Amino acid sequence: MLRTVLPVIFLFIFSASFAQGTGDITVLVKEDGRALAGATIELRTAKKLVRIGVSDSSGITHFTAVSPGVYTCAASLVGFAPALSDSFRYEGGAVVLPVLFMKKEVRLLAGVTVQSRKPLIELRSDRTIVNLESSISQVGTSVLEALEKMPGITVDKDGVISLKGKSSVLVMIDGKPTYLGGAELANLLGGMSSSGVSQVELMTQPPARYDASGNAGVINIRTKKTQVKGWNGSVNVSVGKGRYPKSNNSVQVNYRMGKVNLFANYSLNANGSFTRIYALRQYYKADERTIERELEQPTFIRARAATHTLRTGIDYSLGQRTTLGLALSGSRLSRHSDNTATASWKQPSGAVDSLIETFTGNASRWRSGGLSASVRHSFKATGQLGADVDVLSYRIHGTQMSSNVRRFPGNETESFRGNLPSSINIYSARADYSDRLSKTVTLETGWKSSRIVTDNEAAYELLDGGAWKTDAGKTNHFIYTENIHALYATTQASGTRWSGQGGLRFERTSYKGHQLGNDTRKDSAFSRNYNSLFPSASVSYRLDSSNSLSASIGRRIDRPAFQKLNPFVFIINKYTNQQGNPYFRPQFTWNAEVAHLYRSVIVSTLSYSVTTDYFSQIFYSDSAGVVVYTEGNLGRARNLGVSVAVQLSLRPWWSLNGQATGNSKRIEGIVYGKAVATISQGQLSLSNTFRFKKGWGAELSGFYTTRSQADLQEVVDPSGQMTAGLSKTVASGRGTFRLVVRDIFYTQAMAGNTTFFRSGEYFKLTRDTRVATFGFTLRFGRALKGTPRRSEGSAKDEIQRVGNG
DSSP, residue by residue, 553-579: EEEEEEPPPGGGG---EEEEETTEEEE
Model pLDDT for residues 143-193, shown as the tens digit of each residue: 887 887 777 787 876 777 888 777 778 888 877 777 666 666 777 787 777
Which amino acid, one-letter code, is at 750?
M
Model pLDDT for residues 290-338, shown as the tens digit of each residue: 999 999 999 999 999 999 999 999 989 888 889 999 999 999 999 999 9
pLDDT at 182: 67
Helices marked H in 410-499: none
pLDDT at 417: 94
Q: What is the mean pLDDT of residues 532-561?
A: 90
In angstroms, the Cα distances linking 387 to 309, 316, 628 are: 26, 15, 45
pLDDT at 341: 93
For residues 696 and 285, give the distance between their C-alpha atoms in angstroms, rounded to a whole number.
Answer: 63
Q: Specify the pairing of strand 569-573 against strand 49-54.
A: unpaired
pLDDT at 225: 67
User: Cα dihedral angle (460, 463, 465, 471), rounded to 10 degrees?
Assistant: -20
Contacts of 46 (CB under 8 A, 6+ apart): 70
Which amino acid, one-letter code, is at 748?
Q
Predicted confidence band at 129 (pLDDT cuts at 50, 70, 90)? confident
In angstroms, the Cα distances linking 629 to 160, 474, 622 are: 15, 15, 11
pLDDT at 446: 94
Q: Specify the pairing of strand 750-756 against strand 759-767.
A: antiparallel
Q: What is the mean pLDDT of residues 557-575?
A: 79
User: Which of 212-226, 253-267, 444-458 is predicted least confidently?
Assistant: 212-226
Check whether 585 has a pLDDT greater than 70: yes
Model pLDDT for residues 58-89, shown as the tens digit of each residue: 778 877 767 788 888 888 886 677 888 888 88
pLDDT at 488: 95
**Which residue from 691, 668, 698, 667 is spatially nearest to 680, judged by alpha carbons?**
667
**Which residue from 789, 642, 796, 641 is spatially nearest to 206, judged by alpha carbons?**
796
**Which residue from 562, 179, 596 is spatially nearest to 368, judged by alpha carbons?**
179
pLDDT at 439: 82
Predicted confidence band at 109 (pLDDT cuts at 50, 70, 90)? very low
Q: What is the DSSP string of 757-779?
A: TTEEEEEEEEES--EEEEEEEEE
**Which residue from 738, 739, 729 is spatially nearest to 779, judged by alpha carbons?**
729
Reduced to 3 states (helix: H, G, I; strand: E, B; else coil), residue 316 is: strand
pLDDT at 786: 38
In angstroms, the Cα distances linking 178 to 174, 426, 682 are: 10, 11, 29
pLDDT at 180: 67
pLDDT at 219: 86
For residues 552 and 644, give the distance between their C-alpha atoms in angstroms, rounded to a whole number.
Answer: 17
Q: What is the mean pLDDT of residues 582-611?
A: 90
CA angle, 754 as apex, 753 and 759 as ends, to 5°?
A: 115
In angstroms, the Cα distances linking 394 to 267, 367, 390 are: 19, 6, 14
Q: Specify the pairing of strand 217-223 against strand 169-173.
A: parallel
**Which residue from 442, 399, 574 is spatially nearest to 33, judged by alpha carbons?**
442
Q: Both ends of the chain: CA-CA distance in Å?
A: 35
**Which residue from 433, 409, 428, 225 is spatially nearest to 313, judged by alpha carbons?**
225
The gap from C-alpha 141 to its chain's centroid, in whole angstroms, comes to 15
For residues 695 and 651, give the distance between their C-alpha atoms in angstroms, rounded to a whole number.
Answer: 17
pLDDT at 794: 54
User: Which of 202-216, 337-351, 459-473, 760-774 is predicted least confidently?
Assistant: 202-216
Check whether 673 has a pLDDT greater than 90: no
pLDDT at 77: 81
pLDDT at 40: 80
**Which residue from 774, 780, 778, 696 is spatially nearest to 137, judged by alpha carbons?**
774
pLDDT at 803: 45
Q: For 196, phi and psi rounded to 5 degrees?
A: -90, 5
Phi-psi region of 202 (alpha: psi -120 to 50; beta: other; left: phi over 0): beta
pLDDT at 20: 33
Q: Say which residue, 256 or 785, is predicted with more confidence.
A: 256
Q: Say which residue, 803 or 587, is predicted with more confidence.
A: 587
pLDDT at 11: 32
Beta strands in 380-411 (DSSP E): 383-408
User: Which of 422-431, 510-519, 525-534 is predicted least confidently?
Assistant: 510-519
Mean pLDDT of the chain: 83
Which amino acid, one-letter code, is at 175?
G
Which amino acid, one-letter code, is at 356?
I
Contacts of 651 (CB under 8 A, 6+ apart): none
Q: Say which residue, 391 or 652, is predicted with more confidence.
A: 391
For residues 185 and 143, give the distance between their C-alpha atoms in angstroms, rounded to a whole number.
Answer: 11
Q: For 157, phi and psi rounded to 5 degrees?
A: -65, -20
For residues 277 and 297, give the distance between their C-alpha atoms in angstroms, rounded to a whole number.
Answer: 8
Around Cβ 785, how many Cβ atoms within 10 Å?
12
The gap from C-alpha 751 to its chain's centroid, in whole angstroms, comes to 23
pLDDT at 485: 96
For residues 692 and 698, give the distance between their C-alpha atoms in angstroms, rounded to a whole number.
Answer: 8
Check whether 125 has a pLDDT greater than 70: no
For residues 541 and 547, give the distance between their C-alpha atoms in angstroms, rounded to a whole number.
Answer: 9
Q: What is the DSSP string of 314-343?
A: EEEESSSSEEEEEEEEEEEEEEEEEEEEEE
Contact at 8 Å (CB) between 221 and 228?
A: no
User: Which of 189-203, 483-497, 674-688, 718-732 is predicted least confidently?
Assistant: 189-203
Check whether 114 has a pLDDT greater than 70: no
pLDDT at 112: 40
pLDDT at 47: 73
Model pLDDT for residues 351-379, shown as the tens digit of each residue: 999 999 999 999 999 899 999 999 999 88
Q: What is the mean pLDDT of residues 775-800?
A: 58
For residues 266 and 251, give the distance between their C-alpha atoms in angstroms, rounded to a whole number.
Answer: 5
pLDDT at 10: 36
pLDDT at 84: 86
Per-residue DSSP letter, 370: E
For residues 415 and 170, give the distance between their C-alpha atoms in angstroms, rounded to a whole number.
Answer: 39
For residues 717 and 752, give the distance between their C-alpha atoms in angstroms, rounded to a whole number.
Answer: 5
User: Which of 108-117, 252-261, 606-615 is predicted least confidently?
Assistant: 108-117
Give the helix/strand (H/E) hosting 500. strand 498-516
Model pLDDT for residues 136-153, shown as the tens digit of each residue: 777 777 888 788 777 778
